[in-house]
Amino acid sequence: MFNKIIDKIKGAGVLSLSLEEASKKASTSMGCYKLYLDGVKYVGRAENGLRKEFDRLYNLKGRTLAEKEIKANRDKISVSFVILPTKEKCREIEMKWINQLKPEWNKLKM
């Protein structure tokens, strides 16, 4: 029972997850997320669902510099996210976090 409660909390983005775990357990709702590797490295939005986006990130081909960084570190990356009600809110929060946190990999372009 305790494990089910923890899984629900993780799926809602309350706790941080590994990128691999997020690709399987995160919410399917839209939202914004942060990728961590010794601090926030990347901020993004998932308008088509967080789990779908984490699955995409975990299985990247590594075409751009940012994608290469994510691919090379995918098993060391942890994620946190927030569920949001609209695409507009996703764009707003993503830009707010990028401006506040200035994540290194966001500068490399996806």
Instruction: Read off the pLDDT of residues 59-77 as tens digits, 9 standing for 90 and up.
Output: 999 899 999 999 999 999 9
Q: Domain residue spans in the chain?
A: 2-105
In the block, residue with structure tokens 């088509």 = 48
- Picking from 10, 65, 4, 66, the residue whose alpha carbon sits closest to that of residue 35 is 66
Report the number of secondary-structure helices (H) and strands (E) in the chain: 5, 4
Which phi and psi (to 5°) does residue 102 adopt?
45, 60
Domain 2-105 in this protein, CATH class = alpha beta
Q: Tokens 């669902």 sit at which residue?
A: 49
Q: CA 24, 107, 94, 26: dihedral to nearest 10 degrees? A: 10
Mind listing the pLDDT tens digit for each residue in 18-75? Answer: 999 999 999 999 999 999 999 999 999 999 999 999 999 999 998 999 999 999 999 9
